[in-house]
């Protein structure tokens, strides 16, 4: 993946590009490097493929979000941090080249077994649930095979008939004159929608669709370490397939609630912890709140505000191995009391005088410009 060019660079656009601008940029690059206009040019063919891959990712909002967060690592062989797949590149070619070449290369679909469509939904989890993992139950309206027609869409006793337009193939072929000459197009049959069959007597139960909707409970295993906006793919829990094809997948995007004390960056956690003036001056043991609960931590005498402490292995578990965790970075903030008793004021005044005398002696011995000298100059005294 290291040798891959940035997808935005491939299409010549900025990261703020809109959907319309992205499509326009891709059309321009695809037209320039299309194999039909560069026959035998392997470099052009590679650039054409590279542009198609870039558009496949950036034109999908979820995949684009994952790419912006993780780069090419989001789509490695293991599905990346969000578990995304590239999917059918034919979808992209069909959408773009239908406009680019006046019909061009359409997505090919036959009346063979076809996988069902994916379903997208969201689930909200608490911050701690995202860190340590959890199980969530979802209730979704899903399609099931109609029990009356058994998925045929026809009334019992009336079988679907072979489509006369495509001869049962589910596809029609036609040619069209374009900018690049005569283009042969293969597209889905409009009469049978690619099934190769026509239903004349529709089932009353499912209105000829072959399926009925009902609410189903689905259990979602949220893995430890998942981050806000990442998705979980549940195989074959989407829409039913066609002509015996498998069901699509269910894509569950995880929305993580904010935490009042912790902020997350990748697998590291960040927080601040207040300490008293006395603790900062004298040092000792303080209590720090972590995602695992409170722990005791030693601090040195004279600890200054904004001192940072690294708690190794106290961060978020990684998705690939929950036993490997990030770190927790804690910023110590010295609290200055805003309400003091007379006794406390007296003690602090004594401390101030003792500290001032020490400072004067130490500075005067070094060069004669102690606190007292500064004070005389400020008020014009000699």
Compute CA 68 distance to the chain's CA centroid, rounded to the nearest angstrom. Answer: 8
* Per-residue pLDDT reduced to its tens digit, 252-289: 999 999 999 999 999 999 999 999 989 999 999 999 99
Q: What is the pLDDT along the chain (382 residues), one digit of tens a residue?
A: 446 889 999 999 998 889 889 988 998 998 888 877 777 788 888 888 888 888 888 988 888 888 887 787 776 544 444 443 333 444 444 444 444 444 443 344 455 677 888 999 999 999 999 999 999 999 999 888 888 988 888 888 888 889 988 888 888 887 766 655 666 777 888 888 777 888 888 999 998 888 898 899 999 999 999 999 999 999 999 988 877 788 999 999 999 999 999 999 999 999 999 999 899 999 999 999 999 999 999 999 999 999 999 999 999 999 989 999 999 999 999 998 888 898 888 888 888 888 765 444 444 444 444 433 333 333 333 3
Compute CA 267 distance to the chain's CA centroid, rounded to the nearest angstrom. Answer: 14
Residue 151 vs residues 13, 205, 241: alpha-carbon distances, Å: 46, 11, 11
* Per-residue pLDDT reduced to its tens digit, 304-314: 999 999 999 99
* Per-residue pLDDT reduced to its tens digit, 129-172: 999 999 999 999 988 888 898 888 888 888 888 998 888 888 88
79 CB-near residues (< 8 Å, 6+ apart): 85, 233
pTM of the model: 0.57
Angle among Cα 59, 60, 65 to the nearest 5 degrees reads 110
Angstrom distance (rounded) from CA 48 to CA 34: 6
Tokens coding 33: 């490097």
Angstrom distance (rounded) from CA 372 to CA 355: 13
H/E segment holding residue 95:
helix 89-100
């Amino acid at each position: 993946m290291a040798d891959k060019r940035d997808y935005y660079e491939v299409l010549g656009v900025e990261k703020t590009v809109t959907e319309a601008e992205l499509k326009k940029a891709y059309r321009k690059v695809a037209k320039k490097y299309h194999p039909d206009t560069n026959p035998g040019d392997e470099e052009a063919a590679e650039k054409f493929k590279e542009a198609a891959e870039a558009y496949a990712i950036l034109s999908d909002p979820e995949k684009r979000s994952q790419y912006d967060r993780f780069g090419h690592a989001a789509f490695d062989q293991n599905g990346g941090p969000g578990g995304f797949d590239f999917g059918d590149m034919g979808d992209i070619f069909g959408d773009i080249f239908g406009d680019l070449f006046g019909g061009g290369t359409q997505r090919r679909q036959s009346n063979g077994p076809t996988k069902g469509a994916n379903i997208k939904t969201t689930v909200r989890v608490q911050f701690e649930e995202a860190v340590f993992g959890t199980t969530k139950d979802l209730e979704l309206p899903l399609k099931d095979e109609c029990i009356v027609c058994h998925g045929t869409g026809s009334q019992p006793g009336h079988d679907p008939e072979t489509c006369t337009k495509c001869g049962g193939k589910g596809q029609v072929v036609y040619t069209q004159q374009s900018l690049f000459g005569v283009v042969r197009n293969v597209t889905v049959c409009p009469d049978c929608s690619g099934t190769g069959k026509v239903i004349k007597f529709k089932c009353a139960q499912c209105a000829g669709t072959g399926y009925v909707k009902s609410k189903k409970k689905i259990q979602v295993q949220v893995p430890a370490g998942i981050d806000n906006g990442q998705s979980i793919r549940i195989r074959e829990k989407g829409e039913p397939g066609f002509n015996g094809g498998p069901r699509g997948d269910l894509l569950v995007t995880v929305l993580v609630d904010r935490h009042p004390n912790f902020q997350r960056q990748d697998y590291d956690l960040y927080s601040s912890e207040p300490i008293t003036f006395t603790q900062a001056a004298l040092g000792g043991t303080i209590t720090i709140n972590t995602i695992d609960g409170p722990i005791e931590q030693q601090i040195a005498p004279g600890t200054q505000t904004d001192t940072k402490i690294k708690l190794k292995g106290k961060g978020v578990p990684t998705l690939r191995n929950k036993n490997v965790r990030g770190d927790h970075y804690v910023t110590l903030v010295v609290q200055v009391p805003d309400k003091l008793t007379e006794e406390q004021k007296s003690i602090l005044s004594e401390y101030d005088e003792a500290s001032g005398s020490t400072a004067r002696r130490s500075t005067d011995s070094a060069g004669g410009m102690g606190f007292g000298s500064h004070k005389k100059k400020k008020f014009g005294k000699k």
